[in-house]
Chain A
Amino acid sequence: MSVDPTEDRSVSVLPDGLWTQPVADVPGGDGEDPVRRLTVPAAMRYDYTPGLAQSRFLRGLAEKKILGERCPVTGDVYVPPRGVSPVSGLRTTEQVEVGPSATITAFCVVHIGFGVNAPPTPFVSALFLPDGAAVSLYGTMGEVSHEDVRIGMRVEPVWVDDDQLTTSMENIRYWRPIDEPDVPADELKGHM
């Protein structure tokens, strides 16, 4: 894909012609070159803090544990927890270890990678319902052809080496199939 900055302004790395924009028609004054572009540095720095419940979750990940929290009314376990049950509006306090085995509740075969850390295409991004949890975690699949991935497939996380563990979702490199029968799709309703 060739881009001539005086003729065409590319705004993405998508295939030619898609999302490109024709050059602006800027009249010049007195034969001077028109001002076509203004560069204004724009950045805002935030120091993010995850809160009580997500801190507990992230500390668990550093020990290769997936920690959810239980709704005091329905008993459902939410992961990652945000500290409040979205159904009852009440604080979750009881921590519950879920997984590590999980079930695929939805997936997508990705053919266009973006971001510097994207796996080679095609790859599968999916929602993984850890055993014992009411909602799914996002991640990517490995050690399997995208053609073999299906809803209901049983999987497990593949962790980074122990000396690489931090308080981060990056601790899970990807998920891979395990040799267990598929979960019927009907049993996954409401758990995406």
Chain B
Amino acid sequence: MRDVAIVSVAQTAHRRAAEELNEVELIQPVIRSAMDQVGATIADIGFTCSGSSDYLAGQAFSFVMTLDAVGAWPPIVESHVEMDGAWALYEAWLKIQAGHADTALIYSYSKASPGDLPRVMSRMLDPYYLGPLWPDSVAYAGLQARAMLDAGTITEAEMAQIAFRNREAARNNPNAQVVGSASVDELLAAPMFSDPLRVHDCPPISDGGVAVVLAADDRARAWSDRPAWIRGIDHRIDSHNAGARDLTTAPSVAIAAERAGATGAFDVAEVHAPFSHQERLVVDGLGLGDDVELNPSGGALAANPMMAAGLLRIAEVADRIMQGSAGRGVAHATAGHLMQQNLVAVLEGDS
């Protein structure tokens, strides 16, 4: 295995609607920042990979247009995933491990504001049985919360505490969208939004993006005084059919964590749990204890740009390692409905 590290990260401020910007105008400053931090031009990058979805902005081949922000002429080696950018990072990591590149630029973004996101998300479902019912993503997540409440694996008060902790943590995140929270008692006094979910249990709808530069071996050391080495990374999926799953667990989190070597002590954990109850599934799957600083960024409950919120978790952990405030961390990303797909990465600085 080659030593591969994250050497720079950049993100937008996340907000409900970046109405004045098109997607390439949204992501270009972030790509430039990630490249400028290491003094790289596109000629220094061996592989470029992005994550986005045409369904969000309602534009066909939108990722081709955002390639303008890379400066893809003369032609570059490039790929795209219709996935969260965490999976674009995984593809780039494989490319580097295979010896086909020494460096990579990864970015992902969404401008979800033009559409009706909870409805758009229903298009991820199978087109025969569930898709035709058009279940919106909030109601769908509510099924999972109800299953967990009925099974006794979480309480409404614990869900409110999760929301409270994340949004209070977001006070220290200048890029967060939802910052600060009412008290847990006040949260629990609020009416149901999509029973059993209250508004505080749900993520905001966000426009935003993130970019990361990867480098191997000596190149990583040349580009960063303190690279965030990727010590392990793995992703697994549960059935796409929610009716065939026990919604109160996410076995693929635990399997990915085991394969990524996510055991032992962590200084920081960033987990991608768009709905409050889902944080419990990830924390249990990762086996995290109380000694870990959990979601210091505020997580997806503070800002949830689709296709970017997972890569943001990795970027947040990497940033803390590169800044020297953390030695070892674990990042988690999810995709699909109800934590169907899960990716776990272990990051570490030089001791």
Spell out A's residues near B (CB within 8 Å): 38, 40, 44-55, 82-91
Contact = CB atoms under 8 A, between A and B. Distances in A.
Query: By DSSP majority rule, is chain A's interface helix, strand, loop, or mixed?
Result: loop
Contacts of A47: 114
B22 A38 contact: no
B350 interface: no
Contacts of B116: 44-45
Interface stretch (B64-72, B249-257, B324-332): B64-72
B22 A91 contact: no
Contacts of B22: 49-54, 82-83
Interface in B142-195: none
Given A82-B24, A84-B24, A89-B42, A45 B71 contact: no
Nearest to B42: A89
Interface in B48-69: 55, 57-58, 65, 67-69
B24 A46 contact: no
Given A52-B20, A82-B22, A89 B115 contact: no
A86 B304 CA distance: 28
A45 B119 CA distance: 10
B97 interface: no
B25 interface: yes
Given A47-B114, A89-B69, A91-B25, 10 more contacts: A49-B22, A50-B22, A51-B25, A82-B22, A83-B24, A83-B25, A88-B71, A89-B70, A89-B72, A91-B28
A46 B21 contact: no
B225 interface: no
A40 B127 CA distance: 11
Interface in B11-62: 19-25, 28, 31-32, 42, 55, 57-58
B58 A84 contact: no
